Amino acid sequence: MKKTFKANNIACGSCANLIKVSLEDSFGKIEVNLETTPKEVIVEIKDDEQENEFKKEMAELGFEIIK
């Protein structure tokens, strides 16, 4: 199921690229919407366990999921 997460600290295309390069091997295609505030990260999530892992890895990169 495709889920949209709102995240803090995403400022530009370089942030979006860091997220994609770091996490796409584990989570598949990731889209980052830089047009919204806060920025949105769209990713295919299979279950709660994978969602929790995604949130944890985003936080480790410095991008806290807020919703």
Chain centroid to CA 28: 11
Answer whether residue 67 shows pLDDT above 80.
Answer: no
What's the rounded Cα separation, in Å, for the pair 56 and 4? Answer: 15
Per-residue confidence band for 16, with pLDDT thresholds at 50, 70 and 90 = very high
d(CA 3, CA 13): 20
pTM of the model: 0.94
- At residue 5, φ and ψ (nearest 5 deg) are -115, 140
Domain locations in the chain as residue ranges:
2-61
- Which ranges constitute the DSSP H helices of 1-67? 13-27, 48-61
2-61: what CATH class? alpha beta
